Amino acid sequence: MILIAMLIAGSGRAEAQSESVQDEHEDEASSCPRTSRQLGLSTASLLDGMLGVPRRACFRTEVALAGDAYLIAEPREFYGNIRIGGRVSGSVNLHDEVEIWGSFDAVRYQSLISAVSTHYLGTGYLTLGSSLRLLDEHERRWIAWARAVLPTTSGLDQNSEPLALEVGTTAEWNAHPNLRLHGALSLIGSVGISSIAPVLPRGGVRVGGGLDWIPYEWLSFQVELMTGFAYRDGLDFMALAGGARLGLGDRVGVDLSVIWPFVGSERALAAAQLGISGRFDDP
């Protein structure tokens, strides 16, 4: 319902504008750089379905392919968890008022190493979301967004089907031509639906912020501090995230993101994502 309400609200605002007002708006300076590089906070994920990953504030129409990895290694406990996947995603920009987006884990491999080891190879989760622009002026941009994560795996979830919803907000500021600041806050909720066990809801908070250093128009480096609370424990994690982003011409972008949890109950050593995107609107 939240996704539908955001879409209807944004579409109504866009349709209410006359053609002359739209043309005038397009000529105004937007806070979003006209680049094929990816923008926003880190895209490396510690949870399934990109849950907990802040949505970028700048809208665009694009298609992207990405590979991701997640690693837990605890030799003393004789425990390990390796997850590798391939994801296809896309987004549609509607008059720079609303962005509709989604992703699908087309391939997911997971190996659990313990006293009884198990392996999984199949599909992963489907994510659907929408963003609504709230502010875009004076080199500042602020949006609200929501995502739903649906259990579309081919046998990974047994006896319980997880559903998740996340609502959040992202703000970005062009502090300098070579420096872009960003921050995000979101609320996460999930339930496991089962015919043999009671529903156990969970909820948590994600807060993060950082900066992009842009030495060249086609290259940027990012560093961030990410935190999570109450979803699995009081302090889920405190993590450093970083990466590099390339713009190859006017249409193609390459994004490498890594996140390293160093405090909290999160057991992962690190998670990473490498993606390539093609932009179809005017960069």
pLDDT above 60 for 20: no
pLDDT for the residue numbered 8: 46
Domain count, the chain: 1
pLDDT above 60 for 21: no
CATH code at position 198: 2.40.128.130
Model confidence over 72-125: pLDDT tens digits?
A: 999 888 899 999 999 999 999 999 999 999 999 999 999 999 878 899 999 999
What is the pLDDT confidence band of residue 26, given thresholds at 50, 70 and 90?
very low
> CB–CB of 203/229 below 8 Å?
no
Is 175 a member of any domain?
yes
Select the more confidently predicted residue: 3 or 214.
214
End-to-end CA distance of the chain: 31
pLDDT above 60 for 6: no
d(CA 196, CA 194) in angstroms, rounded, equals 5
Model confidence over 127-169: pLDDT tens digits?
A: 999 999 999 998 999 999 999 999 999 888 877 888 999 999 9
Is 208 a member of any domain?
yes
pLDDT above 60 for 18: no
d(CA 85, CA 243) in angstroms, rounded, equals 19
Computed on alpha carbons and rounded to an integer, the radius of gyration of the chain in Å comes to 19
Range of the domain at 246: 2-15+46-279
What is the pLDDT confidence band of residue 29, given thresholds at 50, 70 and 90?
low
Is 30 a member of any domain?
no
pLDDT for the residue numbered 115: 79
d(CA 275, CA 272) in angstroms, rounded, equals 10
Is 34 a member of any domain?
no
Is 198 a member of any domain?
yes
When pLDDT is averaged across residues 223-230 and rounded to a whole number, the result is 97
pLDDT above 60 for 175: yes
Model confidence over 180-196: pLDDT tens digits?
A: 999 999 999 999 888 77
Select the more confidently predicted residue: 7 or 199.
199
Model confidence over 201-213: pLDDT tens digits?
A: 999 999 999 999 9
When pLDDT is averaged across residues 8-37 and rounded to a whole number, the result is 56
Select the more confidently predicted residue: 14 or 191.
191
Is 29 a member of any domain?
no
> CB–CB of 127/119 below 8 Å?
no
Is 112 a member of any domain?
yes
Is 39 a member of any domain?
no
